[in-house]
């Protein structure tokens, strides 16, 4: 179980925080695995700074470009499903 800290743009961050967005397509350059924890830090592209908000999620499923999702994903990408963690799990 590896922690990963990632930038997350505001238009994607809020739905993740609300629990209505439960997956993302990301570059598969960090060795993501089911069970890993993502610390998604809200990043403002306008100010080029973090906003100070963070949400912690656990990866529940990964579909890679070299698997059954190959026709949908660019090479080097992965569709990552996750669920928010409670304060006790983080």
What local confidence, expressed as pLDDT, does residue 20 receive? 95
Sign of CA dihedral 46, 17, 82, 90: positive
Set out the domains of the chain in order of their start, with CATH numbers.
3-84 (2.30.130.30)
pLDDT digits (tens, 9 = 90+) for 73-84: 677 788 999 999
Q: Give residue 77's pLDDT.
A: 85
pLDDT of residue 75: 73
List of the chain residues with pLDDT < 50: 88, 90
Q: Where are the alpha helices (DSSP H) in the chain?
A: 10-18
Predicted TM-score (pTM) of this structure: 0.84
* Beta-strand runs (E) in the chain: 3-8, 23-27, 37-44, 49-64, 77-84
According to the model, what pLDDT value does residue 1 have? 83
């Amino acid at each position: 179980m590896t922690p990963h800290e990632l930038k997350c743009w505001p238009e994607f961050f809020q739905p993740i925080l609300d629990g209505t967005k439960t997956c993302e397509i990301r570059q598969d350059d960090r060795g993501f695995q089911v069970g890993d924890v993502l610390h998604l830090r809200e990043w403002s592209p306008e100010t080029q700074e973090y906003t100070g908000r963070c949400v912690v999620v656990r990866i529940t499923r990964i579909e890679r470009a070299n698997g059954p999702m190959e026709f949908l994903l660019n090479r080097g990408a992965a569709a990552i499903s996750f669920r928010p963690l409670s304060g006790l799990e983080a």
